Structure 1
Amino acid sequence: MPILEYHLADNCYSDSQIKELLVSSSHLYAKVLACPLDRVRVFVNFYQKKHMAVAGELLSDGGVEAPYFHFLVLEGRPIEQCHQLLEGFTDLVVELLKVDRSWVRGGCWPIPAQYWAIGGQSASLMRANEIKARALAGESK
């Protein structure tokens, strides 16, 4: 489930900055949610400066670069984890992309498990099966 999208202006950052943002964000996401790294997906969407406006001014006309991100979590995650991710992803944008913190925006979208699929199977069903398998494994010890 862990999916993160950054929305950035094109041609503002080096490939090495973007690589570090993607890799560091992936590891942060997995750490905070205590989930396997192979479940994490991080994307960067780039937009032409003439297609972005901040405070009513196009970036191509001198507007301020103001990155935006959003990420998904299954409903029921502790709010503290969501806050850690909001702060952590903001910190990474500020540190790695050298953006003024006051211009960075981010959001967390909780998704009900019954509305999310993994490999075509409902996450709510997969979660129930994982819980059952853990219980059975515990009984056999």
Structure 2
Amino acid sequence: MPACNVIVLKGHPQERLKRLVRDCSETLARVIDAPLDRLEVWVTEVEPALWGLRGIPADEVLGTAARAELEMPFIRMVLLQGRPVEQHHRLIREMTDAVARVLEMKPDRIRLQIDEVHPDRWGIGGVPASVKRAAELAARAAQA
């Protein structure tokens, strides 16, 4: 169920963006102790003309300083409610570090938001997560 979207300024090499997907997926899975097949991570690129840097479209600013000093990647994560605050803090730290490492920039340029959603307000295949989770737990118990 966990979802993570990393929003960056368009123009990074595709191989770097693929590494970003891999590293963020691995970090998220490790920190929340979830299997990789349970989470989704994707990168969204924004056209420079549609991204404001210092109040000016990025396509007009990028030549004035190094990209890593101007760009401010935004990480938005959606998790089901109930995780401890310490886990949120660890996610903030480790996801920021992963993005900074891959994009070769200082962590203080990166922003991250965690949205918690109640399981009754998150759907998976048209079924509330609370219902789907209860069914999965019952199936596991029956197999045990």
| TM-score, with structure 1 as normaliser | 0.87
Separation in 2, partners of 1:76, 1:54: 36
**Structure 1 ranges of 4+ moved more than 6 A:** none
Structure 1 position 135, deviation (Å) = 4.6
1:109 is matched with which residue: 115, 122, 131?
115
Aligned length: 137
Contact 1:53 1:59 survives alignment (8 Å): yes
Matched residue, 2:5 = 5
> Match of 2:83, SS?
coil
- Structure 1 gaps of 5+ residues are none
Q: Paired residue for 1:90?
A: 96
User: Given the alignment of the two structures, is residue 129 of structure 1 paired with residue 135 of structure 2, yes or no?
Assistant: yes
The gaps in structure 2 that reach 5 residues or longer are 63-69
The Cα shift of 1:54 comes to 2.8
Calculate the TM-score normalised by the size of structure 2: 0.86
**Aligned-partner Cα distance in 1 for 2:86–2:139:** 27
The answer to which of 54-63 and 106-115 deviates more is: 54-63
Which of 53, 68, 71 is equivalent to 2:74? 68
Say whether the 8 Å CA contact 1:9–1:49 is kept in structure 2.
Answer: yes
Query: Following the alignment from structure 2 to structure 1, what is the Cα–Cα distance between the partners of residues 36 and 45?
Result: 24
State, as a whole percentage, how many aligned pairs show the same letter. 30
